[in-house]
Amino acid sequence: MTSDAVRIGVAGLGRAFMLMLPTFRNDPRIKLVAAAAPRAASRAAFEAEFGGRTYATVEELAKDADVDLIYIATPHQMHAEHVDAAARGGKHILVDKPLAVSMGDADHMVAAAEAAGVHLIVGPSHSFDPPVSLARTLIESGEFGAVRMVQALNYTDFLYRPRRPEELRTEEGGGVLFSQGIHQIDIVRLLCGGRARSVTAQTGAWDPDRPTEGAYCALMDFQSGAFASLTYSGYAHFDSDCWMNDVGELGGPKSPEGYGQARKALRDLDPGAEAQLKSTRTYGAGREPLAPKHNEHFGPILVSCDRADLRLTPDGVEIFADTKRSFRKAPLDPAPRKPVIDAVVAAVCESISPAQTGRWGRASLEVCHAILQSAERRKTILLTRQCGTTPKEIHS
C-alpha cells in the first residue's frame, strides 16, 4: 500500500452510508472509487458525485482491482454474505455494526477474513466517538485509578423511526439490541477492558404493532472487577438527549418542538408505506443530515474510577475528582467520524488493528444474544467469546 489515499468501495448506499457521508467528504486520506447498490438512482447519484464505477452486486464490487477496502453498509442479515465476498476478493473490510445477527455467521466472517489475510473492522459504532476515545485515554493513563463502575443510559424514539418489516423481527436482527444495544455494549466494553464475564438482563416488548424488543436493562461484570449497568428504551417517550445539553445523537441541536414527531409520522401507515418512507432516507433520494455542531454521542455515560467520576458529553469529558472538578475537551473535526478513518488508514497502510476488529464485534454480538437469553431464561448468562482491547488481547 502506497502513501496515497485509501481507495474505498461502498456496499450499500442507504441510511448507514448517508451518516458516513460528511466524513467521507472531509477526510483527504480516503477516496470513494466504487459502489454497489440495487437502486439505480443511488448508483447514479454516486457516479455524479464521486465518479468511479458502480455495480448492482457486492460480488462484482469485490472483483474491482482498484478497491483497497470495502465499506459494507448493507442490512444486518446480509453482512455475512458480503464480508465473505469481500474477503474472497482480497479486500480489507469495514462492516457496519453489528458484525452479524447470528453467532454462527460471526464465526464464519472472522474466519474468512483471517484466512484471506485481510483486516476486518466493525464500525462505525459510537465506541469510535472522540469523547469515548478521550475517556479511554484518561482511564489508560492511570491518573484516576481503576474503573469500578459504569452507568450507560439512553432513551430515544428508535422503534418509531421508519422501519422495513425485518427490522421489527428479532430473529432477523430487528429490535433495539442489534441496532442500538451494540453501540452501548461496544462503549462499555471499551471502557471496562473488553473482557466481560456475565450478563443478567430483562427486555421489554410492549407494543403489539412493533413486535420486537424496544427496551432492555442489563448488568455486566468484567474480569477487571468492574461492573456496568446498561439501560435503553426506544419507545419515543422520554428523550435522554435533554441530559446531553439538548444535543442529538448525531451532534446536532435537539429542539423540544420536535417531540413526538417519530410517532406522528407513522400514524395510519401500513408496512409497505412505512418501508417506502424509510427509502426516502437513502442516498440520492432524501435529505442529508445537517452538519453537526458537536461530536456524536450515545446518551449519558458515567464512569466511576478510584479517584474520579468521568461524565462523557458531546464536547468532551467532565471530571469530578477528589477535590477538583474540570473538563477535557474533545474537539469536533470537519470529518465527524475521523476516528473511524484513523482505524481504516492504520489497518490498510500500516497493518495496525483497532480494538474494534471482527473478534471484537463477535464478542459484542455475544453480549446482545446473552441479554436476550438472560431475559428469556430468567438467569445469568456466562460469556465465553470475549476479548480485550489491545491487539495481543484481541487475538489471545
Q: Which domain holds residue 118?
A: 6-126+339-357
Q: Which three cell numbers stand for residue 333?
A: 473535526
d(CA 122, CA 355): 9
Please tell me whether residue 122 adopts helix, strand or coil conformation: strand
Q: Residues 367-389: pLDDT tens digits? A: 999 999 999 999 999 999 999 99
Amino acid at 36: A
392: pLDDT confidence band, cut at 50, 70 and 90? low
Return the pLDDT at 268.
75
In a domain, 389, yes or no: no
Give start and end residues of each alpha helix (H) in 27-129. 40-50, 58-61, 79-88, 103-116
**Is the pTM for the entire model greater than 0.75?**
yes
CATH value at residue 82: 3.40.50.720
* 362 neighbors 98 (Cβ within 8 angstroms): no
Nearest to 98 by CA among 135, 64, 72: 72
* 10 has a pLDDT exceeding 90: yes
237 with 372, same domain?
A: yes
Same domain, 131 and 263: yes
pLDDT per position as a tens digit, 233-281? 999 999 999 999 999 999 999 988 889 998 998 887 777 787 777 767 7
CA distance 79 to 228: 29
CB 193 within 8 A of CB 389: yes
Euclidean distance between CA atoms 109 and 103, whole angstroms: 10
pLDDT tens-digit series, residues 50-93: 999 999 999 999 999 999 999 999 999 999 999 999 999 999 99
Mean pLDDT of the chain: 94
Q: Are 180 and 78 spatial neighbours (Cβ–Cβ below 8 Å)?
A: no
Q: Are residues 108 and 11 in the same domain?
A: yes
Same domain, 255 and 153: yes
How confident is the model at residue 1, as a pLDDT? 43
Residues 115 and 149 occupy one common structural domain: no
